[in-house]
Amino acid sequence: MTFRTRFFLASLAATLATLAVATALLSWSVRRTVSQRIEQGLVAEARVTAELLSRQPGITAARLDDQADTLGRLASARVTLIGPSGEVTGDSEVAATDLAALDNHGARPEVQAALQDGLGVARRYSATLRIDMLYVAVPVKNPGVPDLALVRLAMPLTEVQQQLAIVRNVAVAALLVGLVAAAAMAWMTSQMLATRLRAMADAARRYAAGDFTRPTRDTARDEIGTVARVLDDSVRELGQRAADRALLEAILGGMIEGVLVVNQYGRLQLVNAAARRMLKVMDEPEGRHYLEIVRHPDIAAQLGYALDGHASEGRELKLPQAPGATFVARAATAAAGEHRGAVLVLHDITDLRKADQIRRDFVANVSHELRTPLTAVRGYVEALMDGVEDAEQSRKFMETIARHTLRMERLVQDLLRLARLDAGQEPVERVACSVEALVAGVETELADVIDGRNLRITRSIAADAATLMGDPAKLHHVLRNLFENAANYSPEGGTIAVGAERTANRIVITVRDEGPGIPDADLTRVFERFYRVDKARARSGRDPGGTGLGLAIVKHLVELHGGTVTASNAAPKGARFTVTLPS
């Protein structure tokens, strides 16, 4: 059942009850008024009749009945003349010959009241006429008529009931008319009320959907209009707050810093996505104490200072939820009116620290790589300056100086190339490249090393992987470095296997040797700059040479082509490098 129907039925029921009570009260009042008026009229007629009889002297007993008949016709009521002893001496409704058969009226209530008080009124059932009657008796003072003491007028109550029935019918008709009018008014009122309520409901639905462009616009000054305006203002304010909060959450969600907002009791009010990620928060943290999420004494101290209104400097720390990560935590006081809280910002500086460590390692490695050949060059130069009589020894010194000078030159060239690759200054010229031709070119360039160590090269190049799009010079450098690395770690007479196959729309090239392989702990680090595997894994335990930058350059060149390079251990032994390039 709709609200409109319920309101209509309630209004109609209330109106019906009101009209019924009003009709009943009005009917009762009218009935009482009409009854009193009829009674007063009959009393007045009885007194007039008594006065007329008291002024007619010499009326004989035989003429009393005729007199009663005449008065009955004039009064439109039954007229009964009663003697001093209560006998009926005349009656307008009874023949003179039948008067003797009537009962004595001396004991009738109206007769006794008239004799005692001068007026008697009674309502009772008439045994003679067998209907309810209204009786009014009045004394008659006429000394000339000793047989007449009272005159009584009687009116059938049926006439009174008929008049009252008319009143009742009119009241019922008025009730029906009023009910119809009330139903119409209730229906129109419910219609107007339902229309206004529907407008409020539509506005509420729009507000719930986020549409605040159309207000309810109920300008009435009644309670519903007030509710509509208050609802509109409240919802608009809540909508603005929601929009502001959504904007704030969007801003905080886009931040790479972790942000936690706590109230004055230390309860979390807001935690952005970065903070959830840093702290490994899986469920909803809002409402919980921050110590349940961040169990760290430095953070607790910072938030305590901030909640007390004191400023604190950022602190570098590590969280148990994120092992290996480094953060800088800063807390500040946040106040809004009477409410006080604190904001904690977590800066993830792990990459910065790693970059700083890489920089330190890079400087240290470059210094080491340059210092070693420089020391050797300086030593041999000083020896030559002191004079060397043996020409053969002098020649060996010069060859050593030349070798170390070449090593420094290669190191500087590799460093410069890495710098260009980091700066994106090496463009890629993509042309169709034959994998067979690339491998053959590398074999030719490293023929001395391969033949000197009696190594064997095997090729397994699929027909659909024979050609790829790339920069020939850069791809040659990639394969040369991988071949050279495999040759350095392969045993005498070993085999270097080269393979190429197509997987989906990519070309996969593998270079595998039969050396000692790579320790699992080093597999993810072999592409770092200056990182080298233990020398004991090289042939004869000697330093394989090189600058330690080759695989780092390989990784940059492959990524420059949009590919990837990985290192793994082959079965039963040896290392395998896999290069995946777009075809």
Question: How, if at all, do strands 495-503 and 456-461 pair?
Answer: parallel
**Domain 254-348, CATH homologous superfamily name and number:** PAS domain (3.30.450.20)
CB 515 within 8 A of CB 492: no
Cα distance between residue 551 and residue 531, in whole Å = 9
Q: What one-letter code names the amino acid at 201?
A: A
Which residues have C-beta within 8 Å of that of residue 96, sequence separation ≥ 6? 62, 65, 66, 90
Query: What was the pLDDT predicted at 439?
Result: 92
CB 153 within 8 A of CB 46: yes
pLDDT by 10s per residue, the chain, length 583: 666 677 667 777 777 777 777 777 777 777 777 778 888 888 888 888 888 888 877 777 778 888 888 888 887 788 888 888 889 888 888 888 888 888 888 888 988 998 898 898 898 877 766 777 889 999 988 887 888 889 888 888 776 667 667 777 777 787 788 778 777 777 777 777 777 777 777 777 776 776 666 655 655 666 667 777 777 777 777 767 767 677 777 776 677 788 888 888 888 888 888 888 887 777 778 888 878 877 778 888 888 888 887 777 788 888 777 777 888 888 888 876 667 788 888 888 888 888 777 777 777 777 777 777 788 888 878 888 877 777 787 888 888 888 888 878 877 887 787 788 877 778 888 999 999 999 999 999 999 889 888 999 999 999 989 999 999 998 999 999 899 888 888 888 899 999 999 988 899 999 999 888 888 878 878 888 777 665 444 444 445 555 678 888 899 899 988 999 999 988 788 899 999 999 7
Cα distance between residue 450 and residue 494, in whole Å = 10
Query: What was the pLDDT predicted at 348?
Result: 83
Query: What was the pLDDT predicted at 2?
Result: 66
Scan for tokens 């003179």, then name that residue.
96
Q: Where are the domains of the chain?
A: 3-164, 254-348, 352-422, 431-582
Cα distance between residue 150 and residue 443, in whole Å = 162
- C-alpha 340, offset from chain centre: 26
DSSP string, 353-422: HHHHHHHHHHHHHHHHHHHHHHHHHHHHHHHHHH----HHHHHHHHHHHHHHHHHHHHHHHHHHHHHHHH
Class for the domain spanning 3-164: alpha beta
Instruction: State the burial class of residue 390 (Cβ atoms within 10 Å of its Cβ: 0-12, 13-18, 19+).
Output: exposed
Q: How many CB atoms lie within 10 A of CB 152?
A: 27
Class for the domain spanning 431-582: alpha beta
- Fold equal for 3-164 and 254-348: yes
Q: How many CB atoms lie within 10 A of CB 467?
A: 16
CB 271 within 8 A of CB 321: no
Query: What was the pLDDT predicted at 217?
Result: 60
CB 5 within 8 A of CB 187: no
Cα distance between residue 421 and residue 560, in whole Å = 8
Q: Is 49 helix (H, G, I), strand (E, B) or coil?
A: helix
Cα distance between residue 542 and residue 8, in whole Å = 103
For 2-72, list the strands marked E by DSSP: none
Query: Inter-axis angle of helices 550-560 and 472-489, to 10 degrees?
Result: 150
Cα distance between residue 305 and residue 311, in whole Å = 7
Is-cis flag, bond preceding 323, omega within 30?
no
Domain 352-422 in CATH 1.10.3720.10: no
CB 519 within 8 A of CB 543: no
Cα distance between residue 83 and residue 88, in whole Å = 6
CB 369 within 8 A of CB 386: no
DSSP 154: E
CA angle (100, 106, 109) in 5-degree steps:
130
